Amino acid sequence: MSSVRQNRSVLTGVTEWVYWLVAIDALLVLACSPTILVWTLLTADPRNALLLVVAALPVAPALSAALYAWRRRSEDRDLVPASRFVHGYRVNLLDSLKVGAPAVLVLGILTANVTFGTQLGTASFNAAFLALGALVLLVLVRALTIVSNFSFRLVDVLRLSVFTLLTKPLSTLALLSLGVLTLGLVQFIGSFMLLLAGSLLTVALWHSEKPVARLLRERFVSPDEEPVPAPAG
């Protein structure tokens, strides 16, 4: 009987995980649909480079909502991924856009400089532009994970993002690894793979960012302060 119970427990756990992964993936695709639409309609032409980057802005609140949902799952195993995601999207929408908009603007400028480097006479700086772009992406993703867990002022979010990139090198290395993995999926399989692996990438990101959240909670959040509003219902 204990063996039957154990097998049933394992099967239940696997089923719940699959349900969460499929649900979060579908919600990510829905939340990123404006980006997907623009990227599908526009060709990868140098003249469209800036618009293609700007179109990625909806990804910021979607990523924040997914991270919020995975955090809530670690605290409460109820089978309600949709309500967790939607609530996370709603409460983090403004902050994630405040973080994402400046980063997307900088990335758009850097992309234009790299794309039109020959015409602008800045081709010799392309390596520096790419390195700066990678740094901006690191800060952006770290800032979104902070926004998904805490309610800090924007300036504090940015300062803590840079601070933790330096003081949590293993988590920073994990971010880089996920970035390389994502780039590899796009380059060798196709960008459509991100539609299928979005939930896996976000849950991996959440687990890699746990040490950062723990550090910030211990050092910058008082015990009686809630990091984010509690979910409705």
Answer whether residue 187 shows pLDDT above 50: yes
The predicted structure's pLDDT at residue 232: 37
Q: What's the pLDDT band for 26 if we cut at 50, 70, 90?
A: very high
Q: Give the per-residue pLDDT at 86.
A: 95
DSSP string, 87-155: HHHHHHHHHHHHHHHHHHHHHHHHHHHHHTHHHHT-GGGHHHHHHHHHHHHHHHHHHHHHHHH----HH
177, 169 contact by CB (below 8 A)? no
Q: Where residue 223 falls among pLDDT bands split at 50, 70, 90?
A: low
CA distances from 203 to 57, 66, 81, 210 (A): 20, 8, 13, 11
The share of the chain scoring above pLDDT 70, in percent, equals 89
User: What would the two tokens of residue 64 be?
Assistant: 């924040």
Q: Give the residue among 120, 142, 138 at the shortest CA–CA distance from 130.
A: 138
- Residue 3 in this model has a pLDDT that exceeds 90: no
Mean of the per-residue pLDDT values of the chain: 84
Q: Which residue has the tokens 């799952």?
A: 73
pLDDT band at 59 (very low <50, low <70, confident <90, very high): very high
Determine contact, residues 125/185, Cβ cutoff 8 Å: no
pLDDT confidence of 227, banded at 50, 70, 90?
A: very low
Q: Which range among 66-70, 90-94, 106-110 shows the weakest confidence by mean pLDDT?
A: 106-110
Compute the average pLDDT of residues 55-59. 91
> What is the percentage of the chain residues whose pLDDT exceeds 90?
48
pTM (2 decimals)?
0.85
Mean pLDDT across 128-139: 91
